Chains A and B, each alone.
Chain A
Amino acid sequence: MLRLIENEVFKIIFKKRLLIVFGILLVLITAFAYGQDNSLNRTKARLAGRIGITASTDWKKLCEQQIIDLKNRLESPYGHEEDKPATRVRIEQLQYYLENNINPLDSSAAKFTTQFMEQSIFLFLPLLIIILAGDIVSGEAANGTIKLILTRNIPRWKVLLSKLAALLMLEIIVLLMAAVISAAVSGVFFGYGGWTAPVATGFRVIGDRLETLGVVNVPQWQYALMVYGLAYFVSIVVGTVSFMISVLVKSTSASIGVMMSALIGGNFLSHFMSDWKITRYLFMVNLRLTDYLAGSFQPVAGINMAFSVTVLSVWAVAALAISFVYFMRQDILV
């Protein structure tokens, strides 16, 4: 079995799919990092212009000020009880910035690496996965080599399983590439530190309200690990759905086309038809898992992490079932 997986992995590598993904990542991340650096500088300039002092030198005062304000709020008996953990967490963060002499406005390699994946998880990362997975089976049908591998003394399900395993492996490599490239490139702009800075998380969506009682600070590296873990889950789901399309469709371009339109269409749906109940069961709408970590608002109201993860898992399992059943029974007529 390992031998079969090895075959599949090398096929993808020799087909230069991984190289394409690497190239796209490199170009995009560089552009992102440059853009962020630029907009950071502009923000600072604007702040400086408005307040009349240079924010880059005076951020400490602002931090101290904010801490005092927040502490007052904590001590006030009339603040909402449930705001307090978030307040406390914010104070911790500000204190960390002060103690470690980090301007909270500034970015860092660690921050960027995390942010990049948070921004990519619902569209860009899935697109990369589709590039990787889109032709994994349909490619063999398109060039006829499927006859070559299905006339060995190996059952069909094993052939398909090895392809799936190869895909799951390479998804890890893609995430790793994204992380390493992000860290390496953004470090040039923002410095290579920031891995221990505290990040707030632990928000929960209950009903259609964001609950902040459980908010805690975790170090940036741990937060990044969570973000990439969620990204891997998303990759698996998008990968298996894409895998299914690749089994069902005989041409690579059709396979990639179907998946891309599904993805982009789904993103549109979530914007324009967010009150339509059924959209919440689409996998494309549930890809923004990292938003639950950061406690941002959802495009479709009333869904939370557990819901999204369940929906995505059901999609993945269904896609796998369909892939295997269809592949086992299919007549190879190419």
Chain B
Amino acid sequence: MLKRITWFSLLIITAAGFVALSIGFFKAQQVTGGRTPTAGKTIKTENIPTKTAAAAKESNAVRIVVMGDSVAKGTGDEKGKGFSGYLKDYLKNQTTKDISVENIGIDGLKTDGLLERLQDQKLHSLIAASDMVVISIGGNDLRVLRSRGDSTKEAGFGNLEGIYLNNLKELLKGVRKSSTDTYIVFVGLYNPYLDAAASYEDTQLVSTWNYDTQRLIEADPKAIFIPTYDIFKFSLNRFIASDGLHPNSLGYQAISNRIAKSVENVFNGE
């Protein structure tokens, strides 16, 4: 008798199980297989304001393009603004002109990645219409070195920096191709690891990197190198976000202040 009960419950359980598992299986096929209708719905068509170079350059507006890595993007800012946000706020208070900021920062971007993006026609027209291009790049290029062993650092550095500087040169050329008269603002590197691994060597590398970058930038009369190294050196605890790498809101505000102070007269004067 017990056997019959066992048997019938087994039958029912397996029948139900079979139905459920089959549903699961076909659902899985559907999800990984043919196009589901939701896929089409989620993609919105381009809603970027396509400002062509011709339509732009009204003197009553200041157009800023911010591009580069996660620092450009504003990663780590608990308010989500990043220096581009604060810069916009600041400039708004300073002038009567319209301030528009396009931020196209991408986490983890390196110089080669940015060079690639620069080929983009849309970015080209954005830069052409801009009054100022703010670039933050190189942190990720340099970070490759950190992930390598210390012994190879010295040797690897020169090589790596060479590639970086080359890319940077190309980058400047690229921007100038789109626009000959836009201001280029380059945000220098800071060292977020100062207290953790304050090796002299490390500090040395960042300084060399910044120095060489600055020399390259300043060769262009309408470009400026904004150092950030000094802002963070004694204020890591206040300015670095909880991920230990990116600036926090205060850090971004500090960077923004630097940039604003350097460029405010350019726009006011016009």
Contacts and interface: CB of A to CB of B under 8 A. Distances in A.
Q: Classify A-B as touching or not with yes or no (CB < 8 A).
A: yes
Contacts of A62: 242-243
B80 to A, nearest CB: 3
Interface in B8-41: 10, 13-14, 17-18, 20-29, 31-33, 35-36, 38-39
Nearest to B80: A68
A259 B233 CA distance: 63
A226 B24 contact: yes
Interface centre among A6, A72, A76 (most CB of B within 10 A): A72
B189 to A, nearest CB: 20
A51 B248 CA distance: 13
A225 B36 contact: no
Interface in A203-242: 203-204, 213-214, 216, 218, 222, 225-233
Contacts of B42: 84-85, 88, 213
A79 B106 contact: yes
B212 interface: no
A169 interface: yes
Interface residues of B, number: 51
Interface string B204-247: 00000000000000000000000000000000000001111000
A247 to B, nearest CB: 23
Contacts of B120: 78
B38 A214 contact: yes
A232 B31 contact: no
Contact of B36 (A9, A176, A214, A233): A214
B90 to A, nearest CB: 19
A6 B43 contact: no
B63 interface: no
B102 interface: yes
A50 B106 contact: no
Nearest to B243: A51
A72 B74 contact: yes
Contacts of A40: none
A85 B43 contact: yes
Interface string B87-117: 0000000000000001111110000000001
Nearest to A232: B21
Contacts of B38: 214, 216
A173 B26 CA distance: 20
Interface in A39-62: 50-53, 58, 61-62
B10 A9 contact: yes
Interface of B: 3, 7, 10, 13-14, 17-18, 20-29, 31-33, 35-36, 38-39, 42-43, 46, 48, 73-80, 82, 102-107, 117, 120, 122-123, 241-244
Q: Which 8 A-B pairs have the closest CB atoms?
A: A229-B24, A229-B25, A68-B80, A214-B39, A225-B24, A77-B48, A78-B104, A226-B28
23 contacts: A52-B244, A58-B242, A65-B76, A65-B77, A65-B241, A65-B243, A69-B107, A73-B73, A76-B73, A76-B105, A78-B106, A78-B117, A81-B43, A85-B42, A173-B13, A173-B14, A214-B35, A216-B36, A218-B31, A225-B24, A292-B28, A293-B31, A305-B32
Interface of A: 6, 9-10, 50-53, 58, 61-62, 64-65, 68-69, 71-73, 76-79, 81, 84-85, 88, 169, 172-173, 175-176, 201-204, 213-214, 216, 218, 222, 225-233, 289, 292-293, 304-306, 309
